Amino acid sequence: MAARRAGGRNLRVRSSVLVDGAVLIDLPPDLLARSVMCGVNLNSVKILLITHSHPDHFYYEELRLRRWPFVASEVNALRVYGNEYVVKVLRRHFRGKLRALRMRLRALKPFEKVEAGGYVIEAVKAVHQTVEEEQPLNYLISRGNKSVLYASDTGPYPGDVLEFLAAHTFDAVVLESTMCGLPQERYRFHTSFETAIRLKRWMEDNGVLKRGGVFILTHFSHVSCPLHEEIEEAMKPYGIVPAYDCMNVEL
């Protein structure tokens, strides 16, 4: 109720990120409506990365709108990447329709690298709870000398993921903070403020986050997180920035 009364940046829809207008990470049910509100044109999207199968990240029914009579002209070809379970769901649901929808699917395993549309995309093993046979993913996206880590949904990374990240440098890190001020031990499949601060310090100490790089928190729960202005104030001493809907970051 406090967020509704305060309005502005406290009114949040489900999380998604668009890189260069070409790479979309996750497909929440709010995406189309929010893109219109934010003045974002999704027609240029050529790559779709899905982190996991929870419906706030993977509302795949929207993809059926990629052909007539829902669009007036032919859409761009779309490369869709996700874990094996996500790709299996898409193949089963759109059986016989993928060509008409101009979609090509590819399953990625943790730490696998692909090149697509001028981008280097690397899958990162996330710590999140879904169906038993699914391994959720985060993503590292690079183009030229710029690199971004998108880390949602996940709890604290284990040693093998930190070892993988230590071989990279990032201009930006976008990390979920679903739990905000709650103790991390309450739930290991999402991230708290304390874990975010610790990860940023580790990245700075190990040269993983470039000097001047931006560290952004996203995926806030209205149950466990305070208002936007309060998050902003709490994270300011650590050089961490809370995301808000329609936020634009230039690197």
Tens-digit pLDDT profile for residues 177-226: 999 999 999 999 999 999 999 999 999 999 999 999 999 999 999 889 99
Q: Where are the alpha helices (DSSP H) in 77-140?
A: 84-93
Predicted confidence (pLDDT) at residue 4 exceeds the cutoff of 90: no
The answer to whether residue 216 is domain-embedded is yes
- Give the residue-averaged pLDDT of 227-231: 96
Of the candidates 36, 6, 43, the residue with the CA atom closest to the CA atom of residue 22: 43
pLDDT of residue 139: 98
187 burial (CB, 10 Å; 0-12 / 13-18 / 19+) is: middle
- 61-113 residue pLDDT tens: 999 999 989 988 889 999 999 999 999 999 999 999 999 999 999 999 999 99
pLDDT of residue 132: 93
Higher pLDDT, 7 or 242: 242
d(CA 157, CA 172): 17
Any idea what DSSP says for residue 31? Answer: H
d(CA 251, CA 172): 8
The answer to whether residue 96 is domain-embedded is yes
Q: Where are the alpha helices (DSSP H) in the chain?
A: 2-6, 31-37, 84-93, 159-165, 193-205, 228-235
pLDDT of residue 2: 78
Share of the chain above pLDDT 70, in %: 100
The answer to whether residue 24 is domain-embedded is yes
**Domain extent for 230:** 2-242
The answer to whether residue 249 is domain-embedded is no
pLDDT of residue 73: 86
Number of domains in the chain: 1
For residue 70, give Cα distances in angstroms to 36, 44, 74, 177, 242.
Answer: 16, 17, 10, 36, 36
Give 44's pLDDT tier (boundaries 50, 70, 90): very high
The answer to whether residue 248 is domain-embedded is no
Predicted confidence (pLDDT) at residue 6 exceeds the cutoff of 90: no
Backbone angles phi, psi at 150, to 5 degrees: -110, 115
The answer to whether residue 59 is domain-embedded is yes
pLDDT of residue 135: 98
- 146-174 residue pLDDT tens: 999 999 999 999 999 999 999 999 999 99
The answer to whether residue 147 is domain-embedded is yes
Backbone angles phi, psi at 85, to 5 degrees: -65, -45
d(CA 26, CA 52): 8
Q: 96: left (phi > 0), else alpha (psi -120 to 50), else beta?
A: left
Any idea what DSSP says for residue 179? Answer: T
Extract the tokens encoding 74.
């032919």
SS3 110: coil
Contact 179, 156 (CB under 8 A): no
CATH number of the domain enclosing 204: 3.60.15.10
d(CA 209, CA 19): 18
Interior angle at CA 227, CA 225 and CA 230, nearest 5: 95
The answer to whether residue 247 is domain-embedded is no
pLDDT averaged over the chain? 95
pLDDT of residue 195: 98
d(CA 106, CA 101): 15
